[in-house]
Amino acid sequence: MPIWFGGDYNPEQWPRDVWDEDVQLMQRAGVSLATVGVFSWAKLEPREGEFDFEWLDTVLDKLHAGGVRVDLATATASPPPWLTHAHPEVLPVTVDGVRLSAGSRQQYCPSSPVFRRLATRLVTALAERYGAHPALELWHVSNEYGCHVSHCYCDVSADAFRTWLQTKYGSVAALNDAWGTSFWSQAYSTFDEVYPPRTAPTFRNPTQLLDFDRFSSDELLDCYRGEAEILRAATPDIPITTNFMGWFKPVDYWKWAAEIDVISDDSYPDPTDPLSPATGAMTRDLMRSLRKGQPWLLMEQAPSAVNWRAHNAPKAPGQQRAWSYQSVARGADGILYFQWRQSVAGAEKFHSGLLPHAGTDSRVWRESEQLGGELAALAEVVGTRVAARVAIMFDWDSLWSIEQGATPAQQSYFEGIFAWYREFFTRNVMVDFVSPSFSLDGYDLVVVPSLFVATAAATENLDAHARSGGQLLVTYQTAITDENARITAGGYLGALQRTLGVRIEEFAPLAVPVYSSEIPTVELAGTLLGDASGELWSEYLHAKGARVEATFTTGALAGWPALTRNDVGTGAAWYVATRPDAAARGRLIEHLLGEAGIEFALEQSGLEVVRRGELTFVINHGAAPAAVPVAGTDVLSGASSPGLTLDSQGVAIIRADS
Ligand code: GLA
């Protein structure tokens, strides 16, 4: 099996005489996998119940003859006009009660029985027709679930929500208890009185919001499941994927990943953002982590510019290659794009394609051709793993809860995760992400940024990690509520108070001045951190057995603990009551890596160094040339290191000389 190379192929946008040229050019570019039919429902079923497969037969046969494998989409992501015209109740409704129109894409309510019935009929027909096609490599269910419509507030959704709640709670009394409906006269006497959390006069019930987020993710998962079950029954040996969208808030990918054979991701970091190499790496690491290290596919990226930002800068020369190797280094077994041939009509005609409007005499084509050729020669990478000794805990319940509003402070959970992740990235230390229920065995350092919602099982998991010899770093805003959004029994941090040896008396988030974009800070000091500032947050914290490693030094909090360490079992549990500034975060992370016995090298020059299997990938994201800091031979160029220098966007893949 090669490293897959290719992308979305939409032949229905082109006359037939282009199809042969497509296949020839795919061969020239080294395309090995094409995702076909993602938005072709209207073409496959032009009228309700009337199927036209002839064109797709031809396309698949041509691809097969050309040696291109097919990732066949179920085509259900964009219901055709006849469907929404005949069944307008399928159209989704926003939180404000606006029914969305057709004429774009993803115009369906995930709970709609009509949509599901018609979607599964199409999928059944596709599975029957193409299940045995020799080009079929992978099934691609729908497209980017929840991208445009993740929550639907229509009456059909309201009924489905009630059923979901009934299954979850069993009785309305249990729901009232979990939701705390004694507050603001919200007690329900039957499930019929419960609605989705539509726009209301002021704050809506937090547990209702959290349950609706869970329900909405589950409804989309049910749509996926409905299609996947048909495909699995028809073709048990063909793997199934659906494309994710990185750190996507509405869908709980931990839960979904268990039901997906191959994780795949669509990723569009901003080519002009200097943080993109780090945010990109964080996304790759999440994708690899979703199925505990299993290789994944970069299902979509842009060959150059996208069309959906306000200003769509192209990728710099070499950038798509450098970023592609970042994915391979971090566990991807396929590099695919949106899309093969740049469209000439429709909303994405200004989105780059592997085959641009300018044709093959273009930078984008030449760069793609080069990469396709290189990846074809790298089969030895396929299936190899990436090892990490550091884990960062991440959780969708916490994301949904912390960003609800009516909380102590408005915070971005992703930004909080990234702040800690980045310190590992700049030191070239590999990180896995873990869900609160994952085993932490094998990790020497676990970082827990603001795990706002924590179950008793999650806090036990963290406690066991520290007691059995691990380093554990827990930040402020962790275990504030249980899974029902109720304040944790025993007070903030719950059972972690004992693990960490601290007690929180009161939160003191730092106010953001109305007319300032600056992050508010508070001063702190300690031997380990030196003089530093804390960002966004502070609190009145008591050390109850923990050693105080840093204290706040100014204002009302002067003298109160900011960083503590508690030795438990054979490990240590650290708590930080603010977010130390970047330099201090770096010092703290270096100290914890030292305690955990993990080596690191602070890379000032923008060099990313990642070990996958037996190979070390070195990528120069910096502007200046940089020397490869690993000894061996570059499998891409045959050059030896030391003595090998990479230009900006340059890549080397080093095999140690034996
Ligand atoms: C997403 C979609 C594609 C296309 C691209 C454009 O990833 O899946 O169909 O719209 O965005 O960037």
Region 631-645: what's the mean pLDDT?
Answer: 97
Backbone angles phi and psi of 366, in degrees to 5: -65, -40
Confidence of residue 594 (pLDDT cuts 50, 70, 90): very high
Q: Nearest residue CA, atom 9 of ligand 1?
A: 338
Contact 460, 402 (CB under 8 A): no
The rounded Å distance from CA 306 to ligand 1 centre is: 9
Query: Residues near 124 by Cβ (< 8 Å), separated by ≥ 6?
Result: 230
Contact 30, 372 (CB under 8 A): yes
Contact 399, 249 (CB under 8 A): yes
Which atom of ligand 1 lies nearest, measured to the CA of 143? Answer: 8
Give me the active site residues, please. Answer: 144, 300
The rounded Å distance from CA 132 to ligand 1 centre is: 28
Question: Is pLDDT above 80 for 639?
Answer: yes
Question: Is pLDDT above 80 for 513?
Answer: no
Which atom of ligand 1 lies nearest, measured to the CA of 245? Answer: 7
The rounded Å distance from CA 456 to ligand 1 centre is: 39
DSSP code, position 654: E
Over residues 386-417, the pLDDT tens digits come to: 999 999 999 999 999 999 999 999 889 999 99
The rounded Å distance from CA 8 to ligand 1 centre is: 9
265 lines ligand 1 (CB under 6 A): no
* C-alpha span between 564 and 545 (Å, rounded): 10
Q: What is the pTM of this model?
A: 0.98
The rounded Å distance from CA 261 to ligand 1 centre is: 22
Over residues 533-592, the pLDDT tens digits come to: 999 999 999 999 999 999 999 999 999 999 999 999 999 999 999 999 999 999 999 999
Question: Is pLDDT above 80 for 515?
Answer: no
Which atom of ligand 1 lies nearest, measured to the CA of 39? Answer: 9
300 lines ligand 1 (CB under 6 A): yes
* Nearest alpha-carbon partner for 285 in 434, 97, 64: 434
Contact 354, 22 (CB under 8 A): no
Q: Nearest residue CA, atom 3 of ligand 1?
A: 338
Residue 425's CB is within 10 A of a number of other CB atoms, namely: 22
Q: Nearest residue CA, atom 10 of ligand 1?
A: 348
351 lines ligand 1 (CB under 6 A): yes
Region 277-295: what's the mean pLDDT?
Answer: 98
338 lines ligand 1 (CB under 6 A): yes
